[in-house]
Amino acid sequence: MPLKSGKHEFGDYEGQTVTYVEQKVGAERAAFLKALLEHNGIPVIVIEIPGATEDIPTTWTVATPDLVFNPVVYVYQRRLRTLDGRKISPAYWNQESEDAKPEYWEIKKSD
CB neighbours of residue 74 within 10 Å: 18
Q: Does residue 2 sit within a domain?
A: no
pLDDT digits (tens, 9 = 90+) for 57-87: 899 999 999 999 999 999 988 899 999 998 9
H or E element, residue 74:
helix 71-76
Is the pLDDT higher at 78 or at 34? 34
Q: Does residue 22 sit within a domain?
A: yes
Q: Does residue 81 sit within a domain?
A: yes
Q: Does residue 87 sit within a domain?
A: yes
Q: Does residue 111 sit within a domain?
A: no
Residue ranges making up the domain that contains 23: 10-93
pLDDT at 105: 58
Give the total number of structural domains in the chain: 1
CA distance readout (Å), 70 to 22, 53, 64, 66: 11, 32, 10, 9
